[in-house]
Each structure stands twice: as structure tokens, then as C-alpha cells.
């Protein structure tokens, strides 16, 4: 556990929201475990135990508190460092839709023995992989019971229990109540029509919503995404079905409000996890800020824009296409090209709330005449080559275990350079240490002339270089004058490394 006892104690007594989800409190006298922000009267220190995760508290025999609802806390932060086995395994657990058991398979996928994986989980998370997966499943079920009007049989399926009997037994064992009793306790304040689900997705404050929204707004693909009156909206397609979701900001509840319209509840877990990743809700900003503030060049920006996150994406393939389209054109230009791709090759959306299309999948673009929308032939070919690589399984955006291998594969595609690959890793994999060091905007923000210098400088920002990039791009003028490279001997990145999708990035 990264946090010491004193820190936990202080955070608990002050109900500090910045620590929400970073540790859990087991109260011996009541047998429940709580978040650091629990409104219940604080227990005496001698009666509490601290756990690094909810799963660890559950394994020690504590039940989730019905007042502070541990299932609503922000996710496990990425303080485990970047390419660690544990964080990769956690990513797999969140992407797998919570399938049962399978620790052997999980261990095999991350390339270690199952006993070793178990040991690592116990060491870092205080719980076994199975306990982590089970706790997540139970928490998700609890959220659906409380926050949706989905029939219990559907809740059981959506949360991966396999059968209603096992779902009932699981809930009863953990909450000492039946699912129906729990639903009666929850006060559903908003009526949800069929296939509409409302989720409150928590974050650890601060959260720079304006920065996130401005970034997404500038890049919103017409017909597929929109940003209006503080609400982000987009169409989605999963397993042959269509839907859409919207996300807005609720600072008082320290959460984002996600409204999902999708008619297969089994995908809800995947969808909400993806939204969490897209809006970078699991970030531990205070740890990031502490580290970045050590560099005077970043300190002022970090102070000025508290809670800046790294925007992720809904779909890695779509993002990579967008990054290729952004090479050598303005953000506006790339956005309109992306809209043309969506309208020409994407499926029309049946009920879209103003959205008209879903972005075309790789299967369609692999054989499409992409350049026909008004692209240089070479760039159209790059997109087709990417689509083919995804179809053939050479490139996968999900379940990425080795980001170096992922980057190498991406760079094998003619027309994709290090810049584009790093940018994709930053936004599609959520790799907090990804860093497009060939970016002129970043060089400009620091007044540096060479990529090598920037790389050297960036060593001290590890493992948060993606966040450092966001702060540097926010420096006024940092990303404006792409053509004017500072210094005579500057190394000018080749055009494909310059994704000008970012050139007008401003907060
Ligand atoms: Zn509580």
C-alpha cells in the first residue's frame, strides 16, 4: 500500500475527497467498510483498519457501507506506475466484462505465472485477482440496482453473474439484504425510460472540466460527436448494436453524469468503464501535480489549471484514424475530414438525438476508397493499412499488454511516425507516461530546439509525461506557429510526426 497510516487517518478524519477510492476504511465495531468521505460519524482510530482496495476490505470480511456506497468511489488510481503487471492485469479485468474466474488465463495474458500474479496483487492491492474481479462485479450490480430500473434478471446478466441464483446469493452474502430490499432502500429520484441508464461516475477533485470539454469540442467529429451547452455526446456501436451516450459535469457531487442509451445491458459495464477511461476519471491528480510541480517550468501551469486530465477516447481505431487525418492540416480541417469519413462510410444512426452516424469500423475502411473524401492518396492508404492491420489482428487497441510492442506495430504502417503512435498511446491506451517528444508545440512551450533535449527534460516527469504534455500544450502560443522551428539547427520532425490536430490546443 502506497499510503501510510497517518495519511489515511488524516484523510479519514477530514473526509478528504482527494483520497476517495485510494483507500478504504474497515470499521471493526460495525463490520462495514467505508470510503474516506463517509458521512457517518467517524469511528475511533483503534476500531478502524485501512485497506488499499475495496476488494481487500471485502476479503477481510467487511461489508460495503450502505451510506457512503463504496461502489461509487472513483476507480483504482494509476499510482502503480505505468507498465506494471498489476496495472495491465487490472486493465484486462475491466475490459473483459468481468468473466468468471480465469486467473490462469489472465496470468498467461500478462506473461507471468498465476501464483506470481496473485502475489503481486496481494502486495499492491491487498487482494487476489479473483477478489478484485468479484468486488467489481458486485459493485457494478449494486449500482444498477440503485440507479436503474432494470429487472433483476437483467442486472444479473449485465454484471456478469451468469445466473439469477448466483446473483441473489452474491448480493445477499455481501449486503445481508436481497436485491429487491436494496432497491427499495435506494431513492430513485429520476425516472429512466427503457434502455436509458443514468450513471454518476465519480472522480477525485479537482477536475478541469472546461479543459476536457474544450479539447473534445475542437475535435468532435460532425455527426458522431457533439459538444453543446456543456454536454458531450456521441454515438456508439458495439457487437452489432447502436446507441449513444452523453456526459455532463456535476461538480457538487464530484462526478460526471453519464446518460447511456443502449439496448443490451450486458454491455453497460464495458460502456461505463470506457467512459471512465475516456474522461480519465481514475487519475490521482494530487499525486501527478505533486510530481510535476517539482519542475519550475510546469509549476505555474499546474497551479493555474488544477485537475487537468488527459482526454482518452471511445474507440482506439477511430482515434488513430483521426490522428492520421490531422497530419499537416488544422484541427478544424481534420475535424471536417473525419465528419466526411463518418458520413460517407459510417452507418446511419437510427435514433441519434441529433447525432447522425456511427464511425465506420476497420472492416469497412479496409476496403473503402478513403481518399475519395478529399484526402491525399497516401494518407488514404495509411488509413486503409491501419484498418487492415486491425482486421488481421496485428494491431489491437484492446487488451494491450505491451505498449512498446503496440507502438512498434503502429510505426510499421507507412505514414505513421513516432509522433502519431505516441499520441495514440496517450489517448487510446491511457498510457500516463506516453509522450510525443517530436511535437513542436511542446518544444516551443519550453523554448527548446531539439527533440533529444525535450526527451532528456521529460525524464523527470515520469511516469506522468502525458499530463506534462497536456500542461505544456496549454501554454499560450505553445502550439500556434508550427512552421517556425526555434533555432537554426533545430531538428524538424518529418511531417507525419506532426499531428497538427493539437496545434490549436488551448484551454
Ligand atoms: Zn460509509
Note the pLDDT tens digit of each residue in 420-439: 999 999 999 888 888 998 88
Using DSSP, state whether 479 is helix, strand or coil.
coil
Residue 69 alpha carbon to ligand 1 centre in Å: 6
If residue 59 lies in a helix (H) or strand (E), which one and from where to where?
helix 54-59
Percent residues over pLDDT 70 in the chain: 89
pLDDT for 370: 95
**Interval 19-38: pLDDT, tens:** 898 899 999 999 999 999 99
Say which range, 65-79, 178-192, 272-286, has the weakest mean pLDDT.
Answer: 178-192
What is the spatial distance between Cα 111 and Cα 377, in angstroms, rounded to a whole number? 40
Q: What is the DSSP string of 191-249?
A: ---TTEEEEEEE-PSP--HHHHHHHHHHTPPTTTEEEETTEEEEEEEETTEEEEEEEEE
Residue 108 Cα, ligand 1 centroid: separation in angstroms? 37
Percent of the chain at pLDDT exceeding 90: 58
With cut-offs at 50, 70 and 90, classify the pLDDT of residue 169: very high
CA distance 223 to 504: 22
How do beta strands 32-34 and 63-64 pair? Answer: parallel
List CB contacts of 465: < 8 A, sequence separation 6 or more: 432, 433, 434, 435, 458
Choosing from 8, 34, 68, 313, the catalytic residue is 34
Contacts of 298 by beta carbon, 8 Å cutoff, 6+ apart: 292, 461, 468, 471, 472
Q: Average pLDDT for residues 442-465, to the nearest whole number?
A: 92
Q: In degrees rounded to 5, what are phi and psi of residue 251?
A: -60, -30
Q: Are 421 and 437 contacting, i.e. CB atoms less than 8 angstroms apart?
A: no
Residues 6 or more apart in contact with residue 132 via CB below 8 angstroms: 53, 55, 90, 93, 121, 125
Q: Which region among 306-320, 390-404, 437-451 has the lowest average model confidence (pLDDT)? A: 390-404
The 8-class DSSP code of residue 50 comes to E
Work out the average pLDDT over 129-134: 88
Peptide bond into 321 cis (omega under 30): no
Question: Side by side, which strands form the sheet with 231-238?
Answer: 196-202, 255-262, 241-250, 231-238, 225-228
Nearest-angstrom CA–CA distance, 257 and 227: 15
3-class SS at 30?
A: coil
Residue 363 confidence class, pLDDT cut points 50, 70, 90 = very high
Instruction: Judge whether 34 counts as a catalytic residue.
Output: yes
Integer Cα distance of 441 and 292 in angstroms: 18
Q: Using the mean position of ligand 1's atoms as its centre, give its distance from the Cα of residue 5 in Å.
A: 19
What is the pLDDT, as a whole number, of residue 102? 75
Long-range contact pairs involving 478-484 (C-beta distance under 8 Å, separation at least 24): 478/441, 478/442, 478/444, 478/445, 479/440, 479/441, 479/444, 479/445, 479/503, 479/504, 479/505, 479/506, 480/441, 480/504, 481/444, 482/440, 482/441
Q: Residue 325, class by beta-carbon neighbours within 10 Å (0-12 exposed, 13-18 middle, 19+ buried)?
A: buried
- Report pLDDT for 479: 53
Task: Quote the cell numbers at residue 180.
Answer: 429487491
207 has pLDDT over 70: yes
pLDDT score for 232: 98
Going from the Cα of 473 to the center of ligand 1, the distance in angstroms, rounded, reads 40
How close is the Cα of 66 to the center of ligand 1, in Å? Answer: 7
Kindly name the residue from 16, 20, 433, 439 that is annotated as catalytic: 439
The rounded Å distance from CA 40 to ligand 1 centre is 6
Q: Residue 166, preceding bond cis, omega within 30 degrees?
A: no
Instruction: Give 360 or 194, the one with higher predicted confidence.
Output: 360
> Ligand 1 center to residue 455 CA distance, Å?
45
Cα–Cα distance for residue pair 345/356, rounded to 1 Å: 12
| Residue among 80, 160, 83 nearest 121 (CA) | 80
Residues contacting residue 18 through CB under 8 Å, at least 6 positions apart:
11, 204, 205, 285, 286
Torsion of CA 91, 425, 217, 297, to 10 degrees: 110
At 346 the pLDDT is 97
What's the distance, CA 92 to chain centroid? 13
pLDDT of residue 507 exceeding 70? no
- The larger pLDDT score, comparing residue 248 to residue 94, is at 248
Q: Residue 135's closest CA among 72, 60, 56?
A: 56
Amino acid at each position: 500500500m502506497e499510503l501510510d497510516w497517518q495519511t489515511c487517518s488524516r484523510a479519514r478524519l477530514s473526509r478528504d475527497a482527494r483520497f476517495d477510492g485510494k483507500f478504504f476504511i474497515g470499521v471493526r465495531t460495525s463490520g462495514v467498510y467505508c470510503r474516506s468521505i463517509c458521512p457517518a460519524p467517524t469511528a475511533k482510530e483503534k476500531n478502524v483498519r485501512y485497506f488499499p482496495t475495496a476488494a481487500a476490505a471485502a476479503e477481510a470480511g467487511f461489508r460495503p457501507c450502505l451510506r457512503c456506497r463504496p461502489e461509487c468511489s472513483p476507480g483504482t488510481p494509476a499510482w502503480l506506475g505505468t507498465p506494471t503487471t498489476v496495472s495491465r492485469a487490472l486493465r484486462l479485468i475491466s475490459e473483459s466484462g468481468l468473466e468468471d474466474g480465469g486467473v490462469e488465463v489472465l496470468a498467461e495474458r500478462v506473461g507471468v505465472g498465476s501464483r506470481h500474479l496473485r502475489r503481486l496483487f496481494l502486495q499492491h492491492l491487498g487482494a487476489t485477482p479473483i477478489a478484485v474481479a468479484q468486488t467489481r462485479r458486485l459493485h457494478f450490480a449494486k449500482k444498477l440496482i440503485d440507479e436503474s430500473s432494470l429487472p433483476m434478471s437483467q442486472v444479473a446478466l449485465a454484471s456478469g453473474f451468469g445466473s439469477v441464483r448466483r446473483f441473489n446469493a452474491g448480493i445477499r452474502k455481501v449486503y445481508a439484504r436481497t436485491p429487491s430490499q436494496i432497491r427499495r432502500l435506494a431513492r430513485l429520484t429520476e425516472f429512466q425510460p427503457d434502455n436509458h441508464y443514468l450513471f454518476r461516475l465519480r472522480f477525485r477533485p479537482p477536475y478541469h472540466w472546461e479543459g476536457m470539454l474544450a479539447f473534445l469540442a475542437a475535435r468532435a467529429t460532425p455527426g458522431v460527436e457533439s459538444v453543446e451547452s456543456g454536454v458531450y455526446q456521441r454515438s456508439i456501436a458495439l457487437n452489432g448494436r447502436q446507441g449513444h451516450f452523453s456526459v455532463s459535469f456535476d461538480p457538487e457531487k464530484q462526478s460526471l453524469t453519464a446518460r447511456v442509451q443502449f439496448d443490451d445491458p450486458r454491455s453497460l459495464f464495458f460502456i461505463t468503464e470506457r467512459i471512465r477511461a475516456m474522461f480519465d476519471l481514475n487519475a490521482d491528480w494530487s499525486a501527478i501535480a505533486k510530481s510535476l510541480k517539482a519542475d519550475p517550468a510546469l509549476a505555474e501551469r499546474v497551479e493555474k489549471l488544477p485537475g487537468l486530465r488527459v482526454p482518452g477516447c471511445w474507440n482506439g481505431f477511430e482515434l488513430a484514424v483521426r490522428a492520421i487525418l490531422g497530419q499537416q492540416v488544422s484541427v478544424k480541417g481534420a475535424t471536417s475530414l473525419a465528419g466526411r469519413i463518418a458520413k460517407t462510410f459510417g452507418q446511419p444512426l437510427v435514433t441519434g438525438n441529433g447525432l447522425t452516424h456511427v464511425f465506420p469500423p476497420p472492416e469497412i475502411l479496409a476496403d473503402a476508397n478513403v481518399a475519395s473524401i478529399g484526402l491525399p492518396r497516401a494518407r488514404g492508404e495509411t488509413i486503409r493499412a491501419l484498418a487492415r492491420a486491425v482486421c488481421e489482428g496485428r494491431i489491437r487497441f484492446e487488451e494491450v499488454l505491451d505498449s512498446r510492442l503496440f507502438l512498434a506495430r503502429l510505426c510499421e504502417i507507412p505514414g505513421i511516425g513516432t509522433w502519431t503512435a505516441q499520441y495514440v498511446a496517450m489517448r487510446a491506451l491511457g498510457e500516463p507516461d506516453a509522450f510525443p517528444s517530436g511535437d513542436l508545440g511542446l518544444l516551443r512551450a519550453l523554448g527548446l530546439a531539439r527533440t533529444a533535449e525535450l526527451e532528456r527534460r521529460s525524464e523527470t516527469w515520469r511516469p506522468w509525461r502525458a499530463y506534462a504534455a497536456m500542461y505544456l500544450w496549454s501554454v499560450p502560443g505553445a502550439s500556434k506557429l508550427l512552421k517556425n522551428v526555434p533555432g537554426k539547427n533545430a531538428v524538424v520532425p518529418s511531417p507525419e510526426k506532426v499531428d497538427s490536430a493539437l496545434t490549436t490546443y488551448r484551454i
